[in-house]
Amino acid sequence: MVLEETDTPFKDVEYGSFFSFRPQKRRVTYHLDEQVGNYHYGDKHPMKPHRITIANHLVMGYGLHNKMDVYSPRKATFNEMASFHREDYLDFLQRVTPDDAETYADTFQNFNIGADCPIFDGVYEFSQRSAGASLDASRKLTQGQTDIAINWSGGLHHAKRAEASGFCYVNDIVLAILNMLRYFPRVLYIDIDIHHGDGVQQAFYESDRVLTVSFHKYNGDFFPATGNFDENGIKGGKYFAMNIPLDDGIGDDQYTSLYKSIIEPTINTFQPSAIVLQCGADSLGYDRLGVFNLSIRAHGECVKFTKSFNIPMLVVGGGGYTLRNVARAWCYETSICVDESVPSQLPKDTSYYEFFSPDYTLHPKLITKIENKNSPKMLEDLRIRALEQLRYLGSAPSVQMQQIPPDLTGHLDEEDECLNDEFLDKVLDVRVNG
């Protein structure tokens, strides 16, 4: 079912339109499809797209929308999504509805449809909106129109070429990276969701143009049961997949220290021309499906550190199942992207203020009673193994811009030209009072 549209200052902006606020030294764009938060997986399902709407209200409550350019993206087309996904899978998503789901029941297993990935009203449109915003963000980066592009409705990193997985149906990240590879020689993908970024890793497992780095819980059982250190790529992509498998209960200092000690040499070695950062908020303490002890500040510190390298960056959402903390984290990380310090006391003029009771703060205490099973030696061993893997990247061949990872294709040149013409023809001084 589709929930009622929430009233916001952006509600009258037409799709595909652009509205500008005052410029900043670091150009930041915010890619906001206002209807993406109105879809509903089901009453008992942990994935709640409405968290995006709540996050947007916090962003606006703090006035952060005045610090960046806000775009209302169009939905991704069938052909755009088919640049990665198999057409019969997309055709299935486009046709099936809850009312006629029984008609397609024989194909559910083929596409991994079930309790985790149910058929809900508007599942195809929801996927179009999420993917469309990430594609829009990638276009702004490749056209040099922004330094940081944010899409909190993106980050659906589990979706595979022909199957849904882990609440994800269309992999907006893969689609965005494919578009970026048309212009950027190398893309670094970083994932701080508590679950392994398996769908993105799988898509680029044979490519040396995309280095995937995933920090996640791993014990061989925890979903998706992949992401051990020895998964490091094959063929031309050997050593271009890096996994940092962690155990329960890791806290702020350990996590941020390990993150920085691995990401800095990774960037220096791989020398990406663009970064995609997946900010799944289920790695926070007290997440409904998580087992880490990270605070919102520590989660945001990963964004701040990655941003400090001044490399074009796409920032997307991902997991996160304690809604109020997801909204807090993504609002705080938006403030980091626009270099704006915000008070911990939440703005009272947001529609969701009471949702954050009893503390009404951006930074609640999120330390749980989950035991920290990550010993200093274990984390040091992970760091050393990561640095050893990076040694193999030094001899990686220089890439040719026309090379695309095996079995993957970019967007049509003709469509790219049309999109560029559309942009040039637009009137860019439309303003909205936020």
166 appears as a binding residue in the annotation: yes
Distance of alpha carbon 257 from its chain centroid, rounded?
A: 22
- Residues 69-80 as b or e (16 or more Cβ within 10 Å = b): bbbbbbbbeeeb
Alpha-carbon distance of 198 to 193, in angstroms, equals: 11
Question: At 392, which helix (H) or strand (E)?
Answer: none
Q: Which is the catalytic residue, given 158, 196, 299, 411?
A: 158
195 appears as a binding residue in the annotation: yes
Q: In what order do the strands lie in the sheet with 210-217?
A: 18-19, 69-71, 28-31, 148-151, 313-316, 274-278, 187-191, 210-217, 241-246
Q: Which residue has the tokens 């199957």?
A: 163
158 is catalytic: yes
Ramachandran assignment for 366, one of left (phi > 0), alpha (psi -120 to 50 degrees), beta (any other): alpha
Alpha-carbon distance of 309 to 286, in angstroms, equals: 31
Q: Which residues pair with 293 in a beta bridge?
A: none
193 appears as a binding residue in the annotation: yes
116 appears as a binding residue in the annotation: yes
Residue 293 exposed, middle or buried by CB count within 10 Å (0-12, 13-18, 19+): buried
Q: Identify residue 59 by its one-letter amino acid code.
A: V
Structure tokens belonging to residue 41: 């997986």
Residue positions forming the annotated binding site: 116, 166, 193, 195, 282, 321
The residues annotated with a catalytic role in the active site are 158
Residue positions forming the annotated binding site for substrate: 116, 166, 321
Residue positions forming the annotated binding site for a divalent metal cation: 193, 195, 282
